[in-house]
Amino acid sequence: MRRWNGRFAGAVGCMLAAAAVAALSAAAANSAAAPQPKDDAGWLKRHEAMNARVKEGHAGLLWIGDSIVERWEKQGRPVWDTYYAHRDAVNLGISGDRTEHVLWRLQNGNLGGGIAPKGAVVMIGQNNGPHNTAEEIAEGVTAIVAELRKQLPETKILLLAVFFRGEKPNDEQKKLAQTNDILSKLADGSHVFYLNVNRIFLLPDGSISKDLMPDFEHPNREGCRVWAEAVEPTLAKLLGDDAVKP
């Protein structure tokens, strides 16, 4: 009987190990949810600069994303200074990033230094369009939200719908619209909130306004202004401060 029990325990152990391997394999199959750094010196340099910045503390607000977020430091700088500088905002956007890159960054120092921001604005997933399904992209964003909740449990997360790109309606836009539908369900009314402001960049025929997004992907200065105005009422409420007046 003792030998049989040993064999039974061994068999159960093997089954559990096999199940664990299967689960890991399933997760790995979705590249959007598997943390991954970029093999790029410029990317790593900016990542390390971000880590150094958060170690300085006084980070009241985080903006997390890709080139669309990074461009707050360039075309959107005047708007950023008006809406976010006084909130000690930190820009955690890197051009070309997909969800897996952001997830890796958050797990490797971007949230370090003991910071306790009131809010974190997340807008990521557009660059996953050519590589992943709508469900996979949503899973990647969900992993990012989970990481934020894990490391910054008191921070309010404002999850923005992924921006579309391409002048005319296209298949990728349809995919990202499906992603946004899934992401909207992450809102819990307590710590995670969802906001879709994509309409401000669209013309009546569904095409993207060249006046606000000249390359049909990134907001210019005017695009950043109307973007900030659209986000401000919700963001100010989450942060518990006075909204910036247009």
Say what percent of the chain tops pLDDT 70.
Answer: 89
Q: What gap in Å lies between CA 246 and CA 225, rounded to an integer?
A: 9
User: What pTM, to 2 d.p., does this model score?
Assistant: 0.88
What are the residue boundaries of the structural domains of the chain, listed by start? 1-33, 36-239
The band of 246, judged by pLDDT with boundaries at 50, 70 and 90, is confident
pLDDT of 13 above 60: no
Lowest mean pLDDT among 16-20, 114-118, 169-173, 234-238: 16-20
Which residues are part of the catalytic machinery? 67, 215, 218
CATH 3.30.450.80 applies to domain 36-239: no
96-113 confidence digits (pLDDT tens): 999 999 999 999 999 998
119-144 confidence digits (pLDDT tens): 999 999 999 999 999 999 999 999 99
| Token couple for 6 | 């040993």
8 Å CB contact between 99 and 144: yes
Place of tokens 């990202």: 176
Buried b (16+ CB within 10 A) or exposed e, 142-176: bbbbebbbeebeebbbbbbbbbbbeeeeeeebebb
56-99 confidence digits (pLDDT tens): 999 999 999 999 999 999 999 999 999 999 999 999 999 999 99
